[in-house]
């Protein structure tokens, strides 16, 4: 029996935050399609949640929804949370920041398609500010640039859930939309290096390679991804 089941679609978006973590810690898990729960069973499971991703923990027979909650739960189970109180809270804050960026880049989960004006405000004002927030956090905790991809982690001297979340956010964003790579390297060069280092950790690299071979540059799917591609081009 596997340790976990992850219910999501074959897309990186919110699912990769959890799946990259499960890969990194070598947890055994099964990928299930989101439609196995969502929407019909969403209210029937223990600890119901509104929308995917859902994580099922086999040993406790428990479902968890809300990506940040799933990641914090796994972080505690696998000792991948910072120990100091401030950094521990910043790990949660980082994951919540990531989720806000996902919400913003999809124009509130696709509730409206992007207009050129609104997109430009997001891309040239909000998104650079978000990138600078991550950059400043990393630099304050010892993230280094220098040759190659730099060194260090977002919140201290060892890998934590915050690094996985940061790479799941910006790594997927620039892979799916290569034009945004320059935005990241200009506004958050240390974060760009961190994402490359996290993405090249052996288990994560193997997972991403397989996912990208299978799904190409797919991001969040649906009409909102088409709208994003019309704005960014490609």
Ligand X SMILES: N[C@@H](CCC(=O)N[C@@H](CS)C(=O)NCC(=O)O)C(=O)O
Q: From the CB of 148, what's the least distance to ligand X, in Å?
A: 33
3-state secondary structure string across the chain? CCCEEEEECCCCCCHHHHHHHHHHCCCCEEEEEHHHCCCCCCCCCCCCCCCCCEEEECCCCEEEECHHHHHHHHHHHCCCCCCCHHHHHHHHHHHHHHHHHHHHHCHHHHCCCCCHHHHHHHHHHHHHHHHHHHHHHHHHCCCECCCCCCECECCECCCCHHHHHHHHHHHHHHHHCHHHHHHHHHHCHHHHHHHHHHHCCHHHHHHHHHHHHHHCCCCCCHHHHHHHHHHHCC
Q: From the CB of 67, what's the least distance to ligand X, in Å?
A: 4
State residue 122 phi and psi, 5-degree precision. Answer: -65, -50
215 binding ligand X? (CB under 6 A): no
Q: Using CA atoms, how far apart are residues 180 and 186, in angstroms rounded to an integer?
A: 10
52 binding ligand X? (CB under 6 A): yes
When the beta carbons of 70 and 231 are compared against ligand X, the nearer one is 70
**Residues within window 89-128 making contact with ligand X, judged by CB under 6 A:** 99, 109
When the beta carbons of 52 and 150 are compared against ligand X, the nearer one is 52
Determine the interface stretch with ligand X among 48-56, 75-83, 114-122, 163-171 (rule: CB under 6 A).
48-56
When the beta carbons of 14 and 73 are compared against ligand X, the nearer one is 14
When the beta carbons of 172 and 192 are compared against ligand X, the nearer one is 172
Q: From the CB of 182, what's the least distance to ligand X, in Å?
A: 26
Q: From the CB of 157, what's the least distance to ligand X, in Å?
A: 28
Q: From the CB of 175, what's the least distance to ligand X, in Å?
A: 17
Q: Using CA atoms, how far apart are residues 123 and 29, in angstroms rounded to an integer?
A: 36
**Residues within window 55-94 making contact with ligand X, judged by CB under 6 A:** 66-67
12 binding ligand X? (CB under 6 A): no
Among 2, 28, 35, 50, binds ligand X (CB under 6 A): 50
Q: From the CB of 193, what's the least distance to ligand X, in Å?
A: 26
The contact set with ligand X (CB under 6 A) reads: 13-14, 50-53, 66-67, 99, 109
């Amino acid at each position: 029996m596997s340790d976990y089941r992850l219910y999501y679609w074959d897309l990186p978006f919110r699912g990769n935050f959890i799946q990259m973590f499960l890969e990194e810690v070598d947890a055994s898990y099964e990928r299930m399609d989101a439609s196995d729960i969502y929407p019909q069973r969403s209210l029937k499971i223990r600890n119901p949640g509104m929308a995917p991703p859902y994580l099922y923990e086999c040993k406790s027979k428990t479902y968890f929804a809300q990506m940040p909650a799933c990641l914090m739960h796994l972080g505690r189970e696998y000792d991948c949370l910072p120990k100091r109180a401030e950094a521990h809270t910043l790990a949660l804050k980082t994951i919540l920041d990531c989720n806000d960026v996902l919400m913003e880049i999809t124009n509130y989960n696709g509730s409206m398609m992007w207009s050129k004006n609104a997109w430009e405000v997001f891309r040239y004002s909000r998104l650079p500010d978000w990138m600078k927030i991550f950059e400043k956090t990393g630099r304050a905790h010892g993230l280094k640039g220098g040759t190659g991809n730099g060194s260090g982690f977002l919140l201290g001297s060892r890998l934590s859930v915050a690094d996985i979340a940061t790479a799941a956010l910006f790594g997927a964003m620039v892979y799916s939309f290569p034009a945004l790579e320059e935005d990241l390297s200009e506004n958050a060069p240390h974060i760009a290096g961190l994402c490359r280092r996290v993405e090249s950790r052996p288990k994560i690299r193997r997972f991403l390679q397989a996912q990208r071979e299978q799904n190409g540059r797919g991001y969040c799917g649906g009409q909102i991804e088409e709208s994003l591609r019309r704005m960014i081009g490609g």
